[in-house]
Structure 1
């Protein structure tokens, strides 16, 4: 759904969300030359964004570019039949003689959406100097408010709890401001693209002979992640991904944090902070130096061994910078990763030989 910020409409006054303008636009190619990504109605507008994940991948420096949906964009005004938005003199005359007198009472908010008289005159001067001039308006996807983060042509007015600004303006044809992307949506997109792998785990001891692969009841079994950076975030339990509008100043960075690695089974469980979860067993190491579990009974009822779930849960926050340099941020939906492996547990007087 699109929201058009037309003068005097209730929808224009009520729309609210987050938007940040871009300074560089990249659109997928379209067949009709409209530049809307083939959507035909503006819904196909996209903004090129570079994602950089500290987990690597991408095109050699941990990054890659892709498109995200635009939140708002400028289009030629077309809602006054018979009035040519490319004729600034005719446009001014019609507006001030037919429209402006009606912007009273409940329609007073419409005044806020239009610039002062000198802007109308400036458009006429440009036209007289030989420039192709067009009057544009802002259209938005869903309920985004272009003024909340400055995607307008200046002026912000509080009107019954909403922040409204100038959303109609003339520009030289084709030189209207670029579409903008919602920074929170940018952060959500980055979070969804964050490379956090399932924990791949190894353990010690593993029995040999008749106890091949097994550990023993009440014997500390050491677990660790063999992909520590990708699945645990290293000793600090932290991962980041950054999304930057290509050619612009707008960015959003997501930071995911985990408290550690959970090891859960029907006969024994533990939770280990990141610094312990990534410590590999070595001969002679004290059990307190790693992530260990003691299984309380043998896995005789499980043909392949106890199902042991290794999982991480991640909180996610974001911060970013708007086009005007203002800092923004907040919380995002958490993330979770899990893998299950079978661990046979035996009850025996035999000695389980630890790996060297």
Structure 2
């Protein structure tokens, strides 16, 4: 079957006009160097969506897409206009007859002749139609083309399933490119909004020891925005729905909390603890506290303290045919660094505030 699939793809390429990155009914595509990509309109939602969510166009490598059937030649040397159903019918008749012998099965890539005749009738009745072809990249497979195909013919036996890759659509409005939901999830992960953890702390002295805390005093750290640690549940989500298709992907990022790291004193706190701001009378066990055991005399600006969140990422989604899929993605990390002066205390210290 692998050899047969390659033969079908090869015949499809031979029947195609040159130029993989031809225009897709006006929406276009780009050869990025890593492969063909198309602009896909998606709607982003969730608390991790940029801005207030909404519609965005993102560039993705498609599984398959539709290109105008321009550039085909008739035996008399004339070029076929994809917007002329009668000319396309003539090209079909010549191309169909040319596929014979051991490759005759590839005739099934064409729809029935009645589809060509119906296109002529619809065009005459006032519907502006254009013929398109499914493309799946230079390395595309029969299975890839089948994702976009309006019909798949099951020939059985050694031939298996053959996708119909030619079809008339309203001019300029072919179906949206089919994208892999995992690829969509990866893109959604890339644009997911998770802010760097900005922290406040106490003690934070004024005067000559501006901003300082003290040796062996529990210093509280907390995030200024609960969403920096995903709220109490420690999660952020973003969902991408492809406009005009049933493909979607949702990414969930989960953190186990806030880590505070310095050359002298570190701590990891769960999301709930990381949100607790110090207030008079608070017990140190109620907050994310770090005790520095030495003064920061070797660090003129104070100890560099890094506040960081690590996020695991999982995704779930739906393919074009309704199949549900999902898995794991690369983790995310957000961090920020502040300088914390640590001074020796010779007297009893009272909290600030």
- TM normalised by structure 1 equals 0.77
Quote the Cα distance in structure 2 between the aligned partners of 1:225 and 1:321. 36
- Could you tell me which runs of 5 or more consecutive residues in structure 1 were left unpaired when the two chains were aligned: 14-31
Quote the Cα distance in structure 1 between the aligned partners of 2:40 and 2:120. 30
Q: What's the CA shift string for 1:147-168, capped at 9, x where partnerless?
A: 4583222337799xxx964152
Residue of structure 2 equivalent to 1:197: 195
Residue of structure 2 equivalent to 1:268: 265
Quote the Cα distance in structure 2 between the aligned partners of 1:40 and 1:262. 42
1:354 and 1:146, CA in 2 relative to 1: closer, same or farther beyond 3 A? farther
For the pair 1:136 / 2:132, whether they are aligned, the reply is yes
Quote the Cα distance in structure 2 between the aligned partners of 1:94 and 1:194. 51
Quote the Cα distance in structure 2 between the aligned partners of 1:332 and 1:252. 12
1:93 and 1:289, CA in 2 relative to 1: closer, same or farther beyond 3 A? same
Residue 148 of structure 2 aligns to a residue whose secondary structure is coil
Equivalent residues in 2 for 1:95-134 (5 A)? 95-103=95-103, 110=106, 114-115=109-110, 119-128=112-121, 130=124
Number of equivalenced pairs:
321
Residue of structure 2 equivalent to 1:246: 243
Q: What's the CA shift string for 1:296-354, capped at 9, x where partnerless?
A: 11111111111101111111111112333321222222111111111111122123331
Residue of structure 2 equivalent to 1:280: 277
Equivalent residues in 2 for 1:1-356 (5 A)? 8-9=8-9, 35-37=26-28, 45-55=38-48, 58=51, 62-69=52-59, 71=62, 72-77=64-69, 81-82=73-74, 84=80, 86=85, 87-103=87-103, 110=106, 114-115=109-110, 119-128=112-121, 130=124, 135-141=131-137, 143=139, 147-148=143-144, 150-155=147-152, 165-172=162-169, 174=171, 176-229=174-227, 231-356=228-353
Structure 1 range deviating more: 312-321 or 181-190: 181-190
Contact 1:201 1:225 in 2 (8 A): yes
Per the TM alignment, residue 44 of structure 1 is displaced from its structure 2 partner at its CA by 7.0
Per the TM alignment, residue 190 of structure 1 is displaced from its structure 2 partner at its CA by 1.4
Residue 69 of structure 1 aligns to a residue whose secondary structure is strand
Quote the Cα distance in structure 2 between the aligned partners of 1:69 and 1:57. 16
Per the TM alignment, residue 228 of structure 1 is displaced from its structure 2 partner at its CA by 1.6
Per the TM alignment, residue 123 of structure 1 is displaced from its structure 2 partner at its CA by 1.6
Residue of structure 1 equivalent to 2:18: none
1:158 and 1:237, CA in 2 relative to 1: closer, same or farther beyond 3 A? farther
